[in-house]
Amino acid sequence: MSSSPRPGAAALGTVERLQRARRIGTTFGRVYLGIKANQFIQRRLRPSDMRERWSRFNRQSAESIYDAAIDLRGLILKGCQFLGARADVLPREYVEVLSRLQDRVPAKSFAVVRRTVERELGRPLGEVFRRFEPEPIAAASLAQVHEAELLDGERVAVKVQYPEIESLVRSDLANLRMLFRAVGVFERDFDLMPLLDELGEYLPRELDFQNEARNAETVAAFFAGRDDVVVPRIHHALTTRRVLVMEYMPGIKITDVDALRAAGVDPNRVTQTLVEAFCRQILTHGFFHADPHPGNLMVQPDGPRLVLLDFGLTKDLPPRFREGIVAFALALIADDPGKLGQALVDLGFETKDGRPEGLHEIARFFLAFAKRFREQPHADPKMLEELGDEIPDMIRQNPIVRVPNHVVLLGRVLGLLSGTSRSLGSRVDLLRTILPYALGRA
């Protein structure tokens, strides 16, 4: 990101920067000191209830970070949403608390929204929209969405970026880098800088709504031949870096099973379409929507049709990713931990000593899971969620230095889709659905 705000971006004053730095420092400082105190108690006193002590401490710490994220917004809020999906890094209590931030973000006032839209489009609101609803239909960490109507009567959704967000992100990145470097001096094995680097890489893209518009059109093209998966059409003439105007697509939230059934929609069909949609993105095209939480997935009863929303976070997979997945699957079928360990290396996993043998224990875990999967091809979504819980615990206990970020994002997608499938109470033959895409035959 550039060192100065772009034209139109609100700059932070010195006092506000200092206040944010103090809140960040005190919040994370208390958590760090609490960790050290619990480590001392565990090492010296060895109480029998240490597991419960850690659980209580982790949940209390996560709640304090949650409160700070709601108050500070900006990078802290976005970063905590990101960490809420990183069970490979954080204990379960943090993930459970911080994941609540996905849907609970306070909205900005309509006056702020109006000023932003008029500045970005260079015209009064009434010269562009016949109607513009003051209350947002959704609010997230970087922006909020309003329903509106163009002068020709077309209903649209208008995504409006918070005016101060670039300055908040820049200030918070600097504060967190300073904090994590200071902690790193005392804690050689505590390194969150790679996560900060990931945020520094992804956030500028999410702050550019023209980039999001291109992502949406890329994914829309994947389903040009299907009428059961749709992406809102973009109005490029009214889209800027901070305002995104798109076709308004009403629908039922994908996890509202009662509403789906009342509309005559079969949840099993919705789940099948959802799994196929992400197989096509990931295994056929190597480019996927990386944030499919239920707020970004709607169902239109006519069809039914799956509506994909919000393409701020997407991911391009490495060119030979599908080949790596096929090698991984063949190793699972052959029940060969050595080949499976090598497949993990080929997919981008790294070990402390650089040798694939360090991954063999993890490979054996996958083999055990594959056996369970073969015995139950109609995979219970609960089984996939358990896998999502068990893998991070195992990774933290093994000599992996780095899990490639595309695998992390895929794990996040798997977890979100598994949770959604479980909410729908449906059963899909995953093996039969995934295999044609993995072999390039779908």
User: Catalytic amino acids?
Assistant: 291
Tally DSSP H helices, then E strands, for the chain: 16, 13
Q: What is the SS3 assignment for 269? A: helix
b/e string for 302-312 if b means 16 or more Cβ within 10 A? eebbbbbbbbb
What sign does the dihedral 130-133-136-138 (CA atoms) show?
Answer: negative
Contact by Cβ (8 Å): 232, 249:
yes
Question: In angstroms, rounded to a whole number, what is the distance separating the alpha carbons of residues 22 and 280?
Answer: 46
What sign does the dihedral 340-342-344-349 (CA atoms) show?
Answer: positive
Place of tokens 């970020």: 405
CB count within 10 Å of CB 224 equals 8
Residues 6+ apart with CB under 8 A from 309: 232, 249, 295, 296, 297, 298
The DSSP string of 156-213 is: EEEEEE-TTHHHHHHHHHHHHHHHHHHHHHH-TT---HHHHHHHHHHHHHHT-HHHHH
Place of tokens 């895409």: 437
State which H helix or E strand residue 307 sits in. strand 305-308
Q: Angle at the Cα of 282 (from 278 to 286), degrees rounded to 5?
A: 145
Structure tokens at 63: 């709640």
Nearest to 264 by CA among 302, 306, 230: 302
How do 229-230 and 305-308 pair as beta strands? Answer: parallel
Nearest to 218 by CA among 202, 228, 203, 231: 231
Question: In angstroms, rounded to a whole number, what is the distance separating the alpha carbons of residues 324 and 330?
Answer: 10
